[in-house]
Amino acid sequence: MGETQAREFYAHTKEGEGKEKWQKLIDHLTATSKLAEVFGQDAGIAPLAKTAALLHDLGKYSLEFQQRLEGKPLRVDHSTAGAKEICQFFQGTAQAPLAALLAYCIIGHHTGLPDFGDPSDLPGDGTLTARLKTEVCDYTHFKAELDPAQVTLPGQLAIRPDRRHPGFSFAFMTRMIYSTLVDADFQDTERFMQGEKPRGGHERIEALRDRLDVHLRRFDNPTSGINQKRTETLRHCIEKAAQKPGFFKLTVPTGGGKTLASMAFALHHAAEHDLKRIIYVIPFTTIIEQNAGVFKEIVGEENVLEHHSNFDWEQKKREATGAADDQTRSVYTKLKLAAENWEIPVVVTTNVQFFESLFASRSSRCRKLHNLAKSVIIFDEAQMFPKDYMLPAMSAIWELVTNYGASSVFCTATQPNLERFLPEGTEITELAPNPQELFDFYKRVEVRHLKDKLTDAALIARLREHEQVLCIVNTRKHASGLFQKLESQDAFHLSTLMCPAHRRQKLAEIRERLETGQLCRVVSTSVMEAGIDVDFPVGYRALTGLDSINQAAGRVNRNMKRSMGEMFIFEPDTDLVRRTPRYVAQGVEVTRSVLRKYDRSPISIPAIHAYFEQLYALKDPHDFDFQKVLDKFYIDRKSQPIFKFATVAENFRVIEDITKTLIIPFGKEAKRLVEELKITQYPLYTLRKLQPYTVSIYEWEFDALSSKGVVEMAADAYAVLSNMEDYYDPNRGLLVPAGGGGDGLFF
Instruction: Please write the tens of the pLDDT for every residue from 542-557.
Output: 999 999 999 899 899 9
| Fold: same for 205-312+341-436 and 444-602 | yes
Rg (CA), the chain: 28
Q: Residue 4's pLDDT is what?
A: 44
Q: Residue 741's pLDDT is what?
A: 43
Q: Residue 743's pLDDT is what?
A: 43
**Domain boundary assignment for the chain:** 2-194, 205-312+341-436, 444-602, 659-734
Q: Residue 745's pLDDT is what?
A: 35
Summarize the confidence of residues 381-390 as an average pLDDT. 88
Residue by residue, DSSP assigns 341-358 as H--SSEEEEEHHHHHHHH
Q: Which residues make Cβ contacts (< 8 Å) with residue 33, sequence separation at least 6?
A: 50, 51, 53, 54, 184
Q: How confident is the model at residue 6 (pLDDT cuts 50, 70, 90)?
A: low
Q: Is 419 left (phi over 0), alpha (psi -120 to 50) or beta?
A: alpha
Residue 85 CA, chain-centre distance (Å), reads 37
Q: Residue 309's pLDDT is what?
A: 54
517, 523 contact by CB (below 8 A): no
Q: Residue 1's pLDDT is what?
A: 34
Measured on CA atoms in the order 729, 733, 736, 738, is the torsion positive or negative? negative
Q: 405 — phi, psi (to 5°)? A: 70, 15
Tell me the residue length of the chain. Answer: 747
For 444-602, CATH number? Answer: 3.40.50.300
Summarize the confidence of residues 354-382 as an average pLDDT. 95
Measured on CA atoms in the order 438, 282, 647, 115, is the torsion positive or negative? negative
For 2-194, CATH number? Answer: 1.10.3210
User: Which CATH architecture group holds 205-312+341-436?
Assistant: 3-Layer(aba) Sandwich (3.40)
Q: Is the pLDDT of residue 736 over 60?
A: yes
Q: Residue 200's pLDDT is what?
A: 74
pLDDT, tens digit (0-9, with 9 covering 90-100), for 233-278: 999 999 999 999 999 999 998 878 899 999 999 999 999 999 999 9
Q: Residue 740's pLDDT is what?
A: 45
Q: How confident is the model at residue 2 (pLDDT cuts 50, 70, 90)?
A: very low
Summarize the confidence of residues 129-157 as an average pLDDT. 91
Q: Residue 326's pLDDT is what?
A: 59
Count Cβ atoms within 10 A of the Cβ of residue 613 and give its class: 0-12 exposed, 13-18 middle, 19 or more buried.
middle
Q: Residue 327's pLDDT is what?
A: 59
What CA–CA distance (Å, rounded) separates 305 from 98?
Answer: 35
Q: How confident is the model at residue 578 (pLDDT cuts 50, 70, 90)?
A: confident
pLDDT, tens digit (0-9, with 9 covering 90-100), for 489-503: 899 999 989 998 999
Q: Is the pLDDT of residue 123 over 90?
A: no
Q: Residue 400's pLDDT is what?
A: 98
What CA–CA distance (Å, rounded) separates 530 from 100?
Answer: 45
Q: Is the pLDDT of residue 286 over 70?
A: no
Mean pLDDT in the chain? 89
Q: Residue 197's pLDDT is what?
A: 79
Q: Is the pLDDT of residue 580 over 80?
A: no
Q: Which residues make Cβ contacts (< 8 Å) with residue 81, sequence separation at least 6?
A: 58, 59, 61, 62, 136, 137, 139
What CA–CA distance (Å, rounded) separates 10 from 565?
Answer: 72
pLDDT, tens digit (0-9, with 9 covering 90-100), for 698-727: 888 999 999 999 999 998 889 999 999 999
Q: Is the pLDDT of residue 367 over 50?
A: yes
491, 522 contact by CB (below 8 A): yes
Q: Is the pLDDT of residue 329 over 70?
A: no
Q: How confident is the model at residue 747 (pLDDT cuts 50, 70, 90)?
A: very low
What CA–CA distance (Å, rounded) separates 540 from 527?
Answer: 15
Helices in 195-285 by DSSP H: which ranges?
205-216, 225-240, 258-273
One-letter amino acid for residue 161 of the chain:
P
Q: Is the pLDDT of residue 637 over 70?
A: yes
Share of residues in the chain with pLDDT > 90 (%): 66
Q: How confident is the model at residue 281 (pLDDT cuts 50, 70, 90)?
A: very high
- Identify the helix (H) or strand (E) that includes residue 336: helix 326-341
Q: Is the pLDDT of residue 670 over 70?
A: yes
What CA–CA distance (Å, rounded) separates 610 from 607?
Answer: 5
What CA–CA distance (Å, rounded) separates 500 from 503?
Answer: 5
